Structure 1
């Protein structure tokens, strides 16, 4: 359906775009386990023995999580 759009006149292209968005909205499924977390204090799951992980970090894709927590400085301890 979306491949026809570029070749259509503007009015038909806009109508097709609205139909695509309507289909996406009506058929979008989401299983919310945790939900949206606050930016400053996101949900952070850390395996036992992993050290130097921040207690709070930005939890958002534009921030490229987990990069804001500097994972290159995380390390495992033997204890």
Structure 2
């Protein structure tokens, strides 16, 4: 007969790394696909000026999303402030 067995429990840390990875891998490409389909649908109606207006807004939004996802916001903000202040 062997000695008493000891059960060892280890605490696991919680993080949002898995969720962030899933969003970057799945949600963002789906949003971009949806945007492309909407722009093609609007362009098919002949409203090229409407597509151009919406595209500029989407590009600005995608740049903001890229900055938020990359985590380089403070560095980019300092660079832009340096352009204005000198």
Higher relative contact order (CA 8 A, sep 6+): 1
TM superposition score normalised by structure 1: 0.32
Q: Greater strand percent: which structure?
A: 1
Q: Greater helix percent: which structure?
A: 2
